[in-house]
Amino acid sequence: MKLLPSFKLAWRNIQTSKLRSFLTMLGIIIGVASVIALVSIGQSSSQSVNASINSLGTNVLSVSVLNSDSSDFTADDVNGLQKVNGVKRVAPVISGRITAKNGTTSSTISVVGTTASYQKIKNIKVANGRFLADIDNKLRLKTVVLGSSAASTLFSGENPVGQTVQLNGTSYKVVGVLQSSGSSMGSSGDDTIFVPLRTAEQLTGSNAISSVYVQAQSADQVSFVERQLNYALLSVFHDTDDYSVSNSQDVMDAMSDVQNTMSLLLGSIASISLLVGGIGIMNIMFVSVSERTKEIGIRKAIGAKRKDILVQFLIEAVVLSALGGLIGVGAGFAAIKIYALFASTSVTLSLSVTALSFGFSLIVGVVFGVFPANKASKLNPIQALRYE
């Protein structure tokens, strides 16, 4: 049996009732568009997070103090970590919130006290001036480096380098402004002020280190350095519940697992629309069989076989789902573009997800079209001709 005439007939029947055909395809359109948009956005977000983490380098470890009350982890303890085999450099961090003021402009901003090594470990770029130097920390100089957002807030487009800013009522000299780094995992370094570690002890009134970034000599030594750090830290805290050591690969793997799970969940929820669309196709095809009972009887009377009738109605169901799938792909692509425009980010259309969604829409058409097509093929030609 030639299929081309069947496709032409299917297309003519769809055009005969355009509104009903569109409403029938709507479930498929929504399902395909939702799967493509949600999964593509989820995958792009995952790639963005992984890129942010990977920019730190694969040889960077992070030491976090989980229970600061158990033991004050000070700069002297950090110096001990610098001596651990395989460690290239360390950057301790004292963090807090302070009030920054320039003229009549005042803002509560995060402050990070650290050393010159922080810039190299975190791969920070300076837009203007310089980053903190070892001499700043050694002499407890009142110098600050502003994140891009902090500089814009306090100086309103002026060049802050060389000027002074009030931190908790004390004057500090601005020596540098950082390039915008954006946000990663809910935090941003753009709205942050950096001061020398020793100066931060005075500014925050505490010498307790909240975290330490450690750079290994090479990526191959990360696991070895991580074990050595755990041994060294255990001698300071005496309890593994008071601290944690993680590397960028661990964080990346954890974030990838979360993002993949979310993408799968969103895709599964969106796929329900495809099943609903399939039920709609099956329903409308049953209606079509009832409406065209006499036509089926005539075709059987002039020699059409059961297989011909079955294939004809099955093709109509597949054409409906295929059209819905194609429109859904276009709608999904449009949704991605709109999201990228309003979210000011880039989202890449996932070709594999697009192909999978469209293929699934065709399968839905076949599966849900079989039952009405089978019913049509089994009609008795004499009874069908008598049908009014």
Residue (of 315, 334, 387) closest to 7 by Cα position: 315
pLDDT of 22 = 81
Pairing of strands 192-196, 105-114: parallel
pLDDT for residue 282 is more than 90: no
Dihedral pair phi/psi, residue 95, rounded to 5°: -120, 160
Q: Percent of the chain scored above 70 by pLDDT?
A: 82
Predicted local confidence at residue 381, as pLDDT: 61
- Rounded CA gap, 170 and 90, in Å? 28
Nearest to 150 by CA among 91, 108, 190: 190
* pLDDT tens readout for residues 51-101: 665 555 568 888 888 865 545 677 778 888 888 888 889 999 998 899 999
Q: Which residues pair with 246 in a beta bridge?
A: 62
Q: For residue 41, which of 351, 257, 346 has the smallest C-alpha distance?
A: 346
Q: Are 133 and 192 in contact (CB under 8 A)?
A: no
Q: What is the pLDDT of residue 294?
A: 67
Q: What percent of the chain shows pLDDT beyond 90?
A: 18
CA distance 194 to 237: 27
Q: Is 339's pLDDT higher than 80?
A: yes
Tell me, what's the pLDDT at 143? 95
Q: How many CB atoms within 10 Å of residue 237?
A: 17
Report the range of poorest mean pLDDT among 81-85, 308-312, 371-375.
Answer: 371-375
φ and ψ at residue 143, rounded to 5 degrees:
-115, 150
> For the segment 28-62, what is each residue's pLDDT rounded down to a tens digit?
888 888 888 887 877 777 666 666 655 555 688 88
Distance CA 339, CA 337 (A): 5
Structure tokens that stand for 30 in this block: 């929504």
With a cut of 90, say whether residue 164 has pLDDT above it.
yes
- Predicted local distance difference test score (pLDDT) of residue 101: 92
Query: What is the distance, to the nearest Å, from the Cα of residue 320 to the centroid of all Cα atoms in its chain?
Result: 33
Check residues 144 and 66 and name the one with the higher pLDDT.
144
Phi-psi category of residue 168: left, alpha or beta, with phi > 0 → left and psi -120 to 50 → alpha: left
Query: How far is it, in rounded angstroms, from Cα 380 to Cα 76?
Result: 93
Q: How many Å separate Cα 366 from the centre of its chain?
A: 34
List the structure tokens of 79.
Answer: 């110096």
SS3 track for 230-282: HHHHHHHHCCHHHEEEEEHHHHHHHHHHHHHHHHHHHHHHHHHHHHHHHHHHH
Phi and psi at residue 113, to the nearest 5° = -95, 125
Beta strand 87-102 pairing with 243-247? unpaired
Mapped onto helix, strand or coil, the DSSP state of residue 111 is: strand
Find the mean pLDDT for residues 7-23: 76
Round to whole Å and give the CA distance between 372 and 261.
37
The single residue listed with the structure tokens 């309103």 is 156
CA distance 4 to 318: 14
Residues 369, 24: Cα–Cα separation, whole Å: 13
The amino acid sitting at 88 is K
